[in-house]
Structure 1
């Protein structure tokens, strides 16, 4: 388990490319046959990548409970798990959750004995999970890709036509603070979230996927008048503090899992920044 400290907006103004990537980019979360965990002190969010091959992987084996001061990982936490690979199972205690590609399962506070199982198809298993602190236990629930809320945004003219799907969201199920969803850009569209925005009350984390070989996404971040960018490849993550804009432009269309933690769960609580005011 790797721990990432929170970074100050004033310090970030001085970061060169290497330091910016060191602080905010997660390059190798998904590794065959292992479970990797990143614990960020930005709103204490935890990102998990699990890629079981022949044997199930126990989430507990990758967790340092001392870092959380609890007896087990979800004793005071909740978690959302998205299947980015082939059809596979997640087990939690005596319960089994079968997830097709791009299905999701929410596990509430108090859930334990969680295992990620190998795929039952030719496509390899690849699970991506986000966990946030929780104060109450809500029921576990599968949200399939067909059950997710779907919102069409953007236009061909602005090169930002995209489908936003909300999985873990107040309109779908109740959670303490965790929100998760997936955005897919249409062919020919490359921009996400432009005009850019911040929301001081929430942080976000982005897991980029469906980026083809030799393609990339330029993830925009920083204060609106102190913008920076990080070049992102397939299956890489970017941590986005509440003080940072979070927009992106790809060399081709792409997808990403977005997750949020913070003071509220109001999707449209955004402070937009006029493009002419970006620097």
Structure 2
């Protein structure tokens, strides 16, 4: 199944009810055993999805009624990260093993099948103008960028899987940030991506923990309360930052005008 989300204006968010914010920006139910769920957002036409194979293999759906194609990746590229136990992905019949938080970039035009009794695959697809090379991205082989400090409660490790260098993509970028023990803040101070939409998937939270995700324009911020394996759509006009009640990680994915990772605008705290 796939759900369609429409774009919203910044002014509508300032006066929105909490239920409205959740309906427009929070994705709560991506992962269901034996199924593939997706959300299509008109913000940069991203597809965000989850596949939980269980004892069967699951094909990446075409969702022709929404995408207008016979195959999902006919004119798209795909990023995948396994958010559960080991499993594998078949790309045009070639098998790629993915452990917990390992990633896979899949080229335009490919056919994809998910498998693994204990695996759960998070994926994001975006329109692509070119075909590049399918590449596995093992977390253990990606050198993280260490950011933040214990004093600021924002010490974290940034894993850049596909980010405009090393692995080529048309416009899709994705990776992961792991918050250090004792820290709570992510992506702080916040920033804006005026030319790109970003999606956060929060993972590895304890059942009783939550992340308070801050969004909205600077000076008019709102928040969402997010549980494990829930995602937030962050439009180009919105900040994205969060603070958790316990340890967690988040998977970030972006697409838009470019795949230049540094194309962003910092927001000063006094402007929030």
Q: Find the residue that maps to 2:140 and give its secondary structure.
A: coil
CA contact (8 A) 1:221 1:227 kept: yes
Shift of 1:94: 2.1
Q: Find the residue that maps to 1:170 and give its secondary structure.
A: coil
Q: Which residue of 1 aligns with 2:135?
A: 141
Q: Find the residue that maps to 2:144 and give its secondary structure.
A: strand
Shift of 1:132: 0.3
Q: Find the residue that maps to 1:109 and give its secondary structure.
A: coil
CA contact (8 A) 2:163 2:260 kept: no
Residue 208 (structure 2) pairs with residue 210 (structure 1): no
Shift of 1:184: 0.4
Residue 59 (structure 2) pairs with residue 58 (structure 1): yes
Residue 36 (structure 2) pairs with residue 35 (structure 1): yes
Q: Which residue of 2 aligns with 1:70?
A: 69
In 2: Cα distance, 1:247 partner to 1:105 partner: 25
Superposed CA RMSD: 1.1
Residue 81 (structure 2) pairs with residue 88 (structure 1): no
In 2: Cα distance, 1:109 partner to 1:144 partner: 21
Q: Which runs of 5+ in 2 are unaligned?
A: none
Aligned pairs (5 A) from 1:104-183: 104-112=103-111, 114-119=112-117, 124-183=118-177
CA contact (8 A) 1:37 1:47 kept: yes
Residue 223 (structure 2) pairs with residue 229 (structure 1): yes
In 2: Cα distance, 1:69 partner to 1:50 partner: 21
Q: Which residue of 2 aligns with 1:21?
A: 22
Q: Which residue of 2 aligns with 1:242?
A: 236
Q: Find the residue that maps to 2:176 and give its secondary structure.
A: strand
In 2: Cα distance, 1:87 partner to 1:266 partner: 31
CA contact (8 A) 2:163 2:174 kept: yes
Shift of 1:24: 0.1
Shift of 1:153: 0.1
Shift of 1:193: 1.5
Shift of 1:146: 2.2
In 2: Cα distance, 1:244 partner to 1:170 partner: 22
Shift of 1:102: 1.4
CA contact (8 A) 2:214 2:240 kept: yes
Residue 91 (structure 2) pairs with residue 97 (structure 1): no
Residue 268 (structure 2) pairs with residue 267 (structure 1): no
